[in-house]
Structure 1
Amino acid sequence: MEYSPVSVTPLSLLQRILLAYIAASTYQFYLVSPSSTSNSMPAAGDATTLLAFKSLLFDPHYTLSSWNVNNTLNVCNWHGIGCQSEGRRRVVTAVRLESLGLTGMISTAIADLTFLRVLHLPNNQLNGSIPRELGDLPHLRYLNLSSNALEGTIPDTLSQCSRLHTISIHSNKLQGSLPSSMARCSRLRVIDFYNNLLTGEIPDEYQTLPELSWLFLSNNNLSGAIPAFGSNSSSSLVTRILLSNNSLTGQIPQSFGNLTSLTLLYLSRNHLVGHIPPSLGNCMNLTSVSVGDNNLKGNLPDSLGQLTRLRYLDFSANYLSGVIPLSLYNLSSLTILDLAVNRLVGTIPPNIFQALPELQYLYLSCNNLQGSIPQSFSHASQLQYLDLSDNSLSGVIPSNLGQLNNLVVLGLAINHFEAKEAKDWDFFSSLANCTNLNQLFLSHNYLAGNFPTSVGNLSSRLDWLAMDRLQISGAIPPEIGKLQGLQFLDLSENFITSSIPSTIAGIPNLTQLYLFRNRLSGHIPESLGNLTWLEVLQLGDNDLHGNIPSSFSARNQLNELNVSFNRLNGTIPNELAKISSLTKVLDLSHNYFTGPIPRDVNQLNLLVLLDISENKLSGELPVTLGGCETLNSLYMQGNSFQGAIPRQLRNLSSLQRLDISRNKFSGQIPEFFAELESLQYLNISFNDFEGPVPIKGVFANTSEIFMNGNSRLCGGAPALQLPSCLVHSSKDGKFFNTPRIVVLTILSSSLCFILLATIIILRKKVSSQRLPRLSSSRDKFRMVSYLELHKATDGFSSVNLIGTGNFSSVYKGNLDGYQNLIAVKVLNLAERGALKSYMAECEALKSIRHRNLVKILTCCSSIDHRGNDFKALVLEFVPNCSLEDWLHPKHPSKYLCLEQRLKIAIDIASALEYLHHHHGQTPIVHCDVKPSNILLDYDMHSKLGDFGLTKFIHGASSATTTGDPSYSIAVKGSIGYIPPEYGMGGKVSTHGDVYSYGILLLEMVTGKRPTDNMFYDGRSLRSFVEEFFQNVDEIVDPVILLTMGDDRQKDKIEVCLASMVEIGLSCSREAPDARMDMKTVTTKLAAIESAYLGCDNTSQ
């Protein structure tokens, strides 16, 4: 489960409340006074006009019942009508019909009310356009048509209303541009057009309006630069500027510093660039500043500390750098401070909350802050939201955080906080005093030790608890069941043991439960099926056994269930197939399930991914499987299914990936496979299919179909190199081109081979070395011989050759008695250094185990059929080619989106972090990190392989060079990825891997190899990227741009790419000590992923 550490920012809600308040209260000050009580007679013509106006309206509540032809003499007493005396007669001067549920159109007859000063029709359901005839009302001062469903454009005729001082038409569906002619209304004080569909630029003429006070244009699609309000005395009265959520560009005008009356400035969610003008410090009346989610850079100016009335300050989601000015901490009135998602550095001042006593919301997440959490946080008696996630903060979390009695959200995820001793968890126990605590984020830290039993004392209001990727061990305390308000619980990727406590099933509103990648054992509690609101259950990669409880049934709300990589057995319960709410994932793979697929599987008719691979399932596929019409991915490989493929599977029209390899299917390949237009990947290897291979659809892309191990197939695309299909005789049923001599030749060759093999076995060396499987105690791998590997690879056939290197060739194969495909790495012992490479790889792989490292299954040291020495490594088969093949594909159909590249970067960083920092006391240096040594599986998870150059650093820290002289220049690597210190006689260290990783990351962003022809005369991939660092979009791999959607998506991609480039440049610095370590890299990439996937909503 990947998510932003804190996605709880209430600032957008605060802004909505503020705008609603503004909308409700703004204009009352300007409304015309109630009607006069003069005895003058009303104008009969006004009554006729109002009845014409009413004729186009539908009045659902009969509020306008007083408006009738029999009551025209009392027109001034009609509902919502205001009159004043004009000479000896009374005329209608105001129409106020707010929130009456009126529908229909605004009649042009309204323009006949010659003396109308106020037209107030907000919060109805009026449609149609704004009548151009409103421009014929010379006395109109106040116009409010907001919160309706009006369409069309803003009529430029309104500029004829020379006395107009307030115009509000917000929250409609108006389009077109802002009429510049409105600047002729020299008395305009309020322009309120926010929340429409307006486009174009803000007219510069608006800055010349001498009485303009409020300019509300937020939530449109306006573009261009912001006019320079304040550049002359004309706009000196402006108090509120709201331009958020548009597409404005350019810089914040320096002239804003002259707007000394300004109280509100909202410019968030635009495309503004440049620096924050220091002149803003002159706007001494400012109370709210929101400029988040732009492209601002540079430092926060010290002058902001002069805004002593400031209560709300938001510069989140920009590119601001430097330290936070101490002057900001002198703003004693500040209640909201949001500087999240920037590049700020430095530490948090120790006395921050003595200077900010009113602070309620503090967001500093996604920066580069260091140091520890100050003890003074306990003085923040008003603090409700504290988000320090995704920084480089360290040390022990202060135990006095529990004194924050008003705390609602605490985000400390993705930092370097530590808990090495039991007392370091005191902070957790102290949080029991925070009775309002609603969300707690501790993920991605170094909090080790047993799971605190005090978890049961946390607030009963807690609904979100994220403690994944820590180093928690021991059992889950049963006290966790006391958290009755919990909806989200993530304890994944820890070292938790024992069984799942049944008390979790007593949390009635739990919707998401993540316990994957732990060491849980025992059965899945039957009572978990009673969690009727549970939507996501992730129990994969544990040691659970037994059956799936039958309590999981149709009454559950599950849409994602993953119990893969356990030791579950028995049949798949039919009740599971009846959970129609399963719409995302059902993953039962890598277990020991037996029996057939439930016949009611068609009830999973909205499921996207079904994975039942690597089990012991059998029988024929049920025809009802064709009812799962929304399936995108179907994985059934590694079972014992048999029979023909049912034709009903032709209904799987959304299917993109299908893997049925390593089963016992027979018959011909269904023609409808070629008719599935969405199908992009098909693996039917190692079955018993026969007959012709189709040539259309997915079969036309030979790089995405796999059919090995079906010896009776023929035809197909030429690239498959299958034999031609034989022509059948219509007379005697015999094949014309089957000479008996061919059969005799095959038989004699086989006999010769068997005889030769027997001789080899008799001569076999007694001292032959074989290593047992080292990757898993769950599934011991037996020892293998040369003959078995020869058979598994079809005699090391070139058809099965999947790669070659300096010292070896790699073949894929299918070993008897082993369900999964294997990779056989055969050493070329004639090459100098091959034997040393073999020994290094054996030494490295025998002692490591990580999900992102290629696993070694066994080794074979023997003699081949010629009597020569033979050495090979048997590895897990990783089927989806190497990263090299994806970054630099031979076929344009192969490409990686940004999300996939980011996940691969995280996978490899995690693998290197393990090698450098978590491998006992002996760090391992890979020495050859490059794309061709990174393999991808079906799900695009990456694994680092080829440990032939690996070095151990004995008795050294992970960042220390070895003292053995043999580890210096003798180290080889790959040109372009070798760190510069190795070329100057430097010794092997983990810094070298970091350098190679940095170059790899830059290659993944740009799509350019470090050995590209464009890099010569001292120019390198790193210098090229550094040169264009401020314009990443100019150097990015064009393939990534294919995934860009709207401008908002483009902005997110550019931010993500810039962050990746920054890490790549840091890792590839020339000085080894200046490079990041892999712990920091892994942490920062995880944060980048969280932000890019759209879960980080801290900005406004």
Structure 2
Amino acid sequence: MITSISCHAILLWCGSFLLFSSFFTPTINANETDRLALLAIKTQLQDQRGVTSSWNNSVKLCQWRGITCGRRHQRVTVLDLSYQSIRGRLSPYIGNLSFLRSIYLDGNSLYGEIPQEIGRLSRLQILVLANNSFSFNIPSNLSRCSKLTDFVADYNHLVGLIPPEFGYLLKLERLHILNNHLTGELPASIGNLSALQRIDLQENNLKGRIPDSLGRLRKLYYLSVHSNNYSGMVPPSIYNISSLESLSLSRNAFTGNIPLNIGFTLPNLKVFRNYDNNFTGPLPDSFSNALKLVEFDVAENSFIGKLSIDFSAFKNLSWLQVATNLLGTGEANDLEFLTSLTNCSKLELLAFYQNQFGGVLPSSIANLSTTLTFLVFTENQISGSIPPGIANLFRLDRIAMDVNQLSGTIPHGVSQLKKLQILYLNDNNLQGSIPTSLGNLTLLYHLDLGSNFLHGNIPSSLGNCQNLIMLSVSSNKFTGSVPQEILGITTLSTYLGLYDNLLSGPFPSEVGNLKNLVFLNVSKNNFSGKIPDSIGGCTSLESLSMKDNSFNGNIPFSMISLRSIKKLDLSSNNLSGQIPKFLENLSFLEYLNLSVNQFEGEVPTKGIFSNTTEFSITGNEKLCGGLDELHLPSCQSKGSKKLKITLLKVLIPVIGSCLIVSACFILVLTRKRKSGNLSQMEEQYPRVSYAELSKATNEFSSSNMIGRGSYGTVYKGILREMGMLVAVKVQSYAKRGLD
């Protein structure tokens, strides 16, 4: 009995051992397969952080960094090397990790192709390859990963088509391939993926039309085809996916109208991005029913008519942009929608620029949410004054009201917006002076008040705005001088515009502080005096216009330092002297205007002066030389002038000396002659009176002068009664007295 029981137990133990052995042995081999596959993958990677340093024989596989194993089989189920700065190629051996469910390789520098062997991973559910440099096509056999729910390959260099075979991934919930170089159309087979919740294909080169089959995706809540080459009409079925929360169609070439009932068919819509397309027609009033809207952007289309959406119940609206359309009628009630926005307590951005909105700017704008940071309605037909209550919007960092018909003064309330960085009020009908308190806006970096009817002095308090990179007060009626404090704003780099005012006096030498300034325009004022030598300190200048002033003197030599200058206009001033030769050497100079000044001398012929279409010197009457096309008189060379002067200096004394010697020789002969009596000598050498000499030399006329020496002047003459040609020297006693 005992023996039989023992034998039975032994048999049971042996059976169990055999069963255990048959189970255990394959597990060991499979685990080894994963280990070898990972070591092969490691050989293709450059891992500067040493993330894979634990991948060695001294550490158990399931303790390797970035590896997760299943509890039951101790097989690798998760490979996670996200954001580890790893470079290299992904080895095809990844296809041997047959128990993998998740692969996270995003945020590295992996390149080359996505291995087709991934298609062998039948258990794979998540494949995240984003933010790498993978290239080539998307492997079509990824469709064999039938359990795949997430395919994320954003920000790579993938090319080619989206495989139509993806239509077999029936469990796919997330398809993200944005920011690649994919081409072709979106396969209609994607409409078979009834589990899809997110499709993000933005920033590719996809084209054609959106397939109507997408309308079958009843779980889809996110769809973005932003920045592709899609065209035609959006299928009406898309607007019937009631689950949609975010729809982005921007930056394509879509046409047609938006369905009038969209606010009812998409009641869950939170984000509607539809800017930069070719949509036409009105913006449907039914959007008033899309109460969950957070972002509404339809800019850069051709929408027309009055904006009649009632935003008063949009509690979460933060972004409203309807800019660059044909909205508005130019009538007084165009801006009623602004009053309805006062209930939007989370509003941050409001932009309705470049439309046809008319009417007076309502005072209710001061009641908009204090969360508002961006208020832009440039290029409309809006009139009235700027509400003083704008000071309530204390978080504003950008105001752009330019190119409208606003009148009145700049309210002091603007000066209370301490976070303001950009203020554009140009091209309106504003009057009065610039509030000195505007200098309190120390964060300003763009200030444009140009093209208004502002007057008075430019306040020196603007010098407190030490972050300004652009300042324009052009085309107003400002008087007085330019405050030195403004020229002390060393951050000014983009533009300084003072042109077309009544500013006067010398231009301050502090301009040399603006070493980073690129554009400077002070033309059409009453500036006088010399162009300051310090202008040469503006070494970054590319454009300098000082025309239509009263600057005088020479062009300062310091301008030789303006090595980046492309445009230089000094026309219509009182500048004089020669045109500087150094202008020939300003190699980037493309336009030079020196017209209507008082320049003289030779026109250079090199550099900018070698092409008459690039420079102008008209209205300078004393110029000579230059290119033949200028038709200027030729210049006397310096050599010929020097020769003439030398000849005059040498020949005149020589001729004079010769005449004096001849006269002396005659006198000597006369004294030496011993024969003949005195009367005979007098007859031969008669005495001549001063009157006769004066008459003979035409009263010592300069036309009879034949020489001038240090001690006198020699004249030629004819003694009429005797018919004798004589030379008469008039001694200079004043000179002798000095000796």
Q: Note whether the superposition's TM-score is higher than 0.5.
A: yes
Question: What is the TM-score normalised by the length of structure 1?
Answer: 0.51
Q: What per-residue deviation string (whole Å, max 9, x for no partner) do you get for residues 301-335 of structure 1?
A: 3xxxxxxxxxxxxxxxxxxxxxxx2x444433222
Query: Which residue identity is paired with 1:522?
Result: G
Identity score, percent:
38
- Is residue 223–residue 246 contact of structure 2 (8 Å, CA) maintained in 1? no
Query: Which residue identity is paired with 1:493?
Result: V
- Is residue 643–residue 665 contact of structure 1 (8 Å, CA) maintained in 2? yes
> Does residue 488 in structure 1 map to residue 398 in structure 2?
yes
**2:585 maps to which of 666, 675, 690:** 675
- Which whole-Å CA distance do the structure 2 matches of 1:199 and 1:218 have between them? 12
Closer/same/farther in 2, CA of residues 289 and 465 from structure 1, 3 Å limit: closer
> In structure 1, what is the equivalent of residue 327 of structure 2?
416
Structure ranking higher on relative contact order (CA contacts 8 Å, 6+ apart): 1
- Which whole-Å CA distance do the structure 2 matches of 1:503 and 1:259 have between them? 57
1:505 positional shift = 0.9
**2:50 maps to which of 105, 108, 111:** 105
> In structure 2, what is the equivalent of residue 660 of structure 1?
570
> In structure 2, what is the equivalent of residue 267 of structure 1?
201
Closer/same/farther in 2, CA of residues 340 and 213 from structure 1, 3 Å limit: closer
Query: Which residue identity is paired with 2:49?
Result: G
- Which whole-Å CA distance do the structure 2 matches of 1:451 and 1:239 have between them? 48
- Which whole-Å CA distance do the structure 1 matches of 2:110 and 2:645 have between them? 77
> In structure 2, what is the equivalent of residue 203 of structure 1?
139
- Which whole-Å CA distance do the structure 2 matches of 1:512 and 1:148 have between them? 40
> In structure 2, what is the equivalent of residue 179 of structure 1?
115
1:345 positional shift = 5.4
Q: What per-residue deviation string (whole Å, max 9, x for no partner) do you get for residues 413-471 of structure 1?
A: 332313534x5544333322222222222323333333322222222122222222222
Counterpart of 1:695 in 2: which secondary structure?
coil
Query: Which residue identity is paired with 1:566?
Result: N
Closer/same/farther in 2, CA of residues 119 and 474 from structure 1, 3 Å limit: same
- Which whole-Å CA distance do the structure 2 matches of 1:564 and 1:734 have between them? 56
> In structure 2, what is the equivalent of residue 295 of structure 1?
229
Closer/same/farther in 2, CA of residues 164 and 468 from structure 1, 3 Å limit: closer
Q: What per-residue deviation string (whole Å, max 9, x for no partner) do you get for residues 342-395 of structure 1?
A: 555555545433333322222344455555554444433322222343444444
1:472 positional shift = 2.4
> Does residue 702 in structure 1 map to residue 612 in structure 2?
yes
Counterpart of 1:104 in 2: which secondary structure?
coil
Q: What per-residue deviation string (whole Å, max 9, x for no partner) do you get for residues 565-601 of structure 1?
A: 1111111111010011111110000111111221111
Q: What per-residue deviation string (whole Å, max 9, x for no partner) do you get for residues 615-655 of structure 1?
A: 11111122211111111111111111111222221221111
Answer with 180-189 or 614-623: which moved more: 180-189
- Which whole-Å CA distance do the structure 2 matches of 1:585 and 1:357 have between them? 48
> In structure 1, what is the equivalent of residue 699 of structure 2?
none
> In structure 2, what is the equivalent of residue 1047 of structure 1?
none
1:680 positional shift = 1.2
- Which whole-Å CA distance do the structure 2 matches of 1:337 and 1:264 have between them? 11
Closer/same/farther in 2, CA of residues 171 and 457 from structure 1, 3 Å limit: same
Q: What per-residue deviation string (whole Å, max 9, x for no partner) do you get for residues 50-83 of structure 1?
A: xxxxxxxxxxxxxxxxxxxxxxxxxxxxxxxxxx
Q: What per-residue deviation string (whole Å, max 9, x for no partner) do you get for residues 7-57 of structure 1?
A: xxxxxxxxxxxxxxxxxxxxxxxxxxxxxxxxxxxxxxxxxxxxxxxxxxx
> Does residue 602 in structure 1 map to residue 532 in structure 2?
no
> In structure 1, what is the equivalent of residue 688 of structure 2?
none
> In structure 2, what is the equivalent of residue 244 of structure 1?
178
> Does residue 570 in structure 1 map to residue 515 in structure 2?
no
- Is residue 93–residue 117 contact of structure 1 (8 Å, CA) maintained in 2? no
Closer/same/farther in 2, CA of residues 385 and 191 from structure 1, 3 Å limit: closer
- Which whole-Å CA distance do the structure 1 matches of 2:314 and 2:65 have between them? 47
Closer/same/farther in 2, CA of residues 408 and 121 from structure 1, 3 Å limit: same
Closer/same/farther in 2, CA of residues 360 and 230 from structure 1, 3 Å limit: closer
- Is residue 276–residue 299 contact of structure 2 (8 Å, CA) maintained in 1? yes
User: How many pairs are equivalent?
Assistant: 603
- Which whole-Å CA distance do the structure 2 matches of 1:203 and 1:726 have between them? 81
Query: Which residue identity is paired with 1:418?
Result: T
**2:642 maps to which of 727, 730, 737:** 730
- Is residue 228–residue 252 contact of structure 2 (8 Å, CA) maintained in 1? no
Counterpart of 2:357 in 1: which secondary structure?
strand
More strand per residue: 1 or 2? 2
- Is residue 119–residue 142 contact of structure 1 (8 Å, CA) maintained in 2? no
Q: 1:976-1015 maps to which residues of 2 (within 5 A)? A: none
**2:289 maps to which of 354, 379, 383:** 379
Query: Which residue identity is paired with 1:454?
Result: S
> Does residue 190 in structure 1 map to residue 126 in structure 2?
yes
- Is residue 49–residue 84 contact of structure 2 (8 Å, CA) maintained in 1? no
> Does residue 155 in structure 1 map to residue 91 in structure 2?
yes
Query: Which residue identity is paired with 1:191?
Result: L
> In structure 2, what is the equivalent of residue 628 of structure 1?
538
Q: What per-residue deviation string (whole Å, max 9, x for no partner) do you get for residues 643-687 of structure 1?
A: 122222122111111111111222222222121221111111112
- Is residue 257–residue 282 contact of structure 1 (8 Å, CA) maintained in 2? yes
Closer/same/farther in 2, CA of residues 650 and 570 from structure 1, 3 Å limit: same
1:511 positional shift = 1.2
**1:336 maps to which of 241, 246, 250:** 246
Q: What per-residue deviation string (whole Å, max 9, x for no partner) do you get for residues 998-1055 of structure 1?
A: xxxxxxxxxxxxxxxxxxxxxxxxxxxxxxxxxxxxxxxxxxxxxxxxxxxxxxxxxx
Closer/same/farther in 2, CA of residues 218 and 395 from structure 1, 3 Å limit: closer
- Which whole-Å CA distance do the structure 2 matches of 1:499 and 1:634 have between them? 31
- Is residue 577–residue 600 contact of structure 1 (8 Å, CA) maintained in 2? yes
> In structure 1, what is the equivalent of residue 162 of structure 2?
226
- Which whole-Å CA distance do the structure 2 matches of 1:734 and 1:403 have between them? 97
- Which whole-Å CA distance do the structure 2 matches of 1:107 and 1:491 have between them? 57
1:540 positional shift = 1.1
Counterpart of 2:382 in 1: which secondary structure?
strand
Q: What per-residue deviation string (whole Å, max 9, x for no partner) do you get for residues 131-155 of structure 1?
A: xxxxxxx964432211021223323
- Which whole-Å CA distance do the structure 2 matches of 1:518 and 1:254 have between them? 52
- Is residue 159–residue 183 contact of structure 1 (8 Å, CA) maintained in 2? yes
- Which whole-Å CA distance do the structure 2 matches of 1:714 and 1:637 have between them? 23
Closer/same/farther in 2, CA of residues 218 and 474 from structure 1, 3 Å limit: closer
1:285 positional shift = 4.6
- Is residue 390–residue 415 contact of structure 1 (8 Å, CA) maintained in 2? no
1:246 positional shift = 0.5
- Which whole-Å CA distance do the structure 1 matches of 2:110 and 2:179 have between them? 16
Query: Which residue identity is paired with 1:247?
Result: H
1:183 positional shift = 4.0
Closer/same/farther in 2, CA of residues 172 and 343 from structure 1, 3 Å limit: closer
Closer/same/farther in 2, CA of residues 284 and 117 from structure 1, 3 Å limit: farther
Counterpart of 1:582 in 2: which secondary structure?
coil
> In structure 2, what is the equivalent of residue 691 of structure 1?
601
Closer/same/farther in 2, CA of residues 291 and 663 from structure 1, 3 Å limit: same
> In structure 2, what is the equivalent of residue 524 of structure 1?
434
Q: What per-residue deviation string (whole Å, max 9, x for no partner) do you get for residues 81-125 of structure 1?
A: xxxx979x99x9999xxxxxx973356672426862574449xxx
- Which whole-Å CA distance do the structure 1 matches of 2:56 and 2:143 have between them? 29
Question: What is the TM-score normalised by the length of structure 2?
Answer: 0.75
- Structure 1 unaligned blocks of 5 or more: 1-84, 96-101, 123-137, 302-324, 737-1100
Q: What per-residue deviation string (whole Å, max 9, x for no partner) do you get for residues 846-901 of structure 1?
A: xxxxxxxxxxxxxxxxxxxxxxxxxxxxxxxxxxxxxxxxxxxxxxxxxxxxxxxx
- Which whole-Å CA distance do the structure 1 matches of 2:360 and 2:195 have between them? 57
> In structure 1, what is the equivalent of residue 716 of structure 2?
none
Q: 1:411-490 maps to which residues of 2 (within 5 A)? A: 411-413=321-323, 414-418=325-329, 420-421=331-332, 425-490=335-400
**1:276 maps to which of 202, 210, 217:** 210
CA-based RMSD: 3.3
> Does residue 254 in structure 1 map to residue 188 in structure 2?
yes
> In structure 2, what is the equivalent of residue 1065 of structure 1?
none
- Which whole-Å CA distance do the structure 1 matches of 2:375 and 2:557 have between them? 47
Counterpart of 1:586 in 2: which secondary structure?
strand
Counterpart of 1:143 in 2: which secondary structure?
strand
Closer/same/farther in 2, CA of residues 442 and 210 from structure 1, 3 Å limit: closer
1:399 positional shift = 7.5
> In structure 1, what is the equivalent of residue 712 of structure 2?
none
1:199 positional shift = 2.3
- Which whole-Å CA distance do the structure 2 matches of 1:357 and 1:735 have between them? 103
Query: Which residue identity is paired with 1:640?
Result: S
- Structure 2 unaligned blocks of 5 or more: 1-26, 39-46, 68-73, 649-739
Closer/same/farther in 2, CA of residues 543 and 282 from structure 1, 3 Å limit: closer
> Does residue 215 in structure 1 map to residue 127 in structure 2?
no
- Which whole-Å CA distance do the structure 1 matches of 2:163 and 2:282 have between them? 43
